[in-house]
Structure 1
Amino acid sequence: MKTACTSLLLMLLWSLTAYAADPFAHPATGEALLASTLAKPAAQLSKAQVLKGRFTHSKHLREIPQPLVADGDFIFVRDLGVYWHTQQPFDSVVVLTSKGIVQRDEGSQTMRLSSDEQPAVRVIADVFLALFTLDVARLNANFDLYGLSQGDRWIIGLRPRAAAMNAVFKEATVTGARDVEEVVLTDVHGDRTVIDLSGIEYSGAQPGADVRALFELARP
């Protein structure tokens, strides 16, 4: 019995150590990730037209001891973008599409950035839309990729090739199993943005008029 417990403990410790390993120590190509680490989740996500779920957004700043935390729900629609509705600590909506970013706080527009005027906005949008569906081909066009898996769990790393993207983040990690569960963006100053996703529901059907209406906010 003691031997069995010891073996189980060693296996558990090995599993935790392997999963906690630095993904950036494991360079990979997009093709290799799709053939191994991301084969199952990418195949499943490729069929989804709409994803809905909850998110928690934590901003970890070096000069502030406690992270700034917000939470709410999101809707991702393929070929449209992502609709973020923050509910706590205040009501805010951010719509991110290939056309740009629009933000409304407490019902009033506070920010609008067009991708035509700010090319970096289009790159940011492409990255986030690719992350939601694990579109490795799109990610591979802009980033050096890394990754490893342990059982059903996986983690991939991204480092921008273009200097302009370094102004957004220096590196990113994406973690999950069946779904994308966490995205961590680290900037050149060491500050981190952590986005945790949960309760994700899929739909292979085209979005209804009510969902499409949410993205009207982002029209020029």
Structure 2
Amino acid sequence: MKSLFFGLCLLAGMAHADDVLFKNIQSKLIDAPVIHGQFTQARQLVGVKKPLTSTGSFLVDKQRGVIWKAEKPFPSTLRVTRGEILQKNGDQVMMKLSGDKEPTVKTVSGLLFSLFSGDVGALGRLFNADGSVTGKNWKLSLTPKDAALGKLISGIQLQGSGTVEHIQLNAASGDVTQIDMHDVTTAPALTPTESAYFE
């Protein structure tokens, strides 16, 4: 009984520590409804020597979702909302996954939405955390709480200051994706053209 009580106290202490860390990092992030920027992505696949690289732009509306537009090496658009993942090549829909039909889609879309929008508090529901805050800069290392999510992702590392600037996503398969975000700007609302991306 003593060991069970001690274990529960230890878990409660860890949860509290994570909560403080998340709140500390969240306080460093710019609180803007809309975030724009550019990205460079490098994906290292197991068994492939040269990483797959792409560049483009991203748009985050913290209420509606994320638009991820790759421009090179070929154009494609990924739209992530809390309940759906949609990928298009021009006007052609390449993939459409709905959280209503696949519960795991809602988990993955929620994860991507939280990552790119900088909602670190939401990440605490899915991951255990370790990290540090030094002045305006912060680092965060995440490991999955859920075994099912652990079969997809072994860990995530985030770095940033006023916004998320670097993401490293380690897949359980051994593949590693690194994303650097730069030239970030904010806005109070979407333009009409940007709103159309979510329709």
Percentage of identical aligned residues = 28
| 1:34 equivalent among 20, 23, 28 | 23
2:69 match: 85
Q: Is the 8 A contact 1:120 1:164 kept in 2?
A: no
- Contiguous gaps of at least 5 residues in structure 1: 1-25
CA distance in 1, matches of 2:198, 2:144: 28
Secondary structure (helix, strand or coil) at the match of 2:32 reads coil
1:49 match: 33
Structure 1 or 2, whichever has the larger Rg, is: 1
Cα displacement (A) at 1:78: 1.1
Q: Write 1 or 2 for the structure with the bigger share of strand.
A: 2
CA distance in 1, matches of 2:59, 2:185: 10
Secondary structure (helix, strand or coil) at the match of 1:178 reads coil
| 1:96 equivalent among 57, 60, 80 | 80
Q: Which digits, 9 at most, give the CA deviation of each residue in 1:197-217, with x for residues without a partner?
A: 1111012x232332111011x
Cα displacement (A) at 1:187: 1.4
Q: Is the 8 A contact 1:30 1:136 kept in 2?
A: no
Number of aligned residue pairs: 185
Secondary structure (helix, strand or coil) at the match of 1:170 reads strand
1:209 match: 192
TM-score after normalising by structure 1: 0.77
Q: Is the 8 A contact 2:22 2:124 kept in 1?
A: no
TM-score after normalising by structure 2: 0.85
2:9 match: none
1:118 match: 102
2:7 match: none
CA distance in 2, matches of 1:94, 1:32: 30
Q: Is the 8 A contact 1:54 1:198 kept in 2?
A: yes
Report the CA distance shift for 1:61/1:151 in structure 2 as closer, same or farther (over 3 A). Answer: same
One-letter amino acid of the counterpart of residue 106, structure 2: R
1:172 match: 156
* Larger deviation, residues 82-91 vs 98-107: 98-107
CA distance in 1, matches of 2:34, 2:71: 21
Cα displacement (A) at 1:30: 2.1
Secondary structure (helix, strand or coil) at the match of 1:141 reads coil
* Larger deviation, residues 113-122 vs 126-135: 126-135
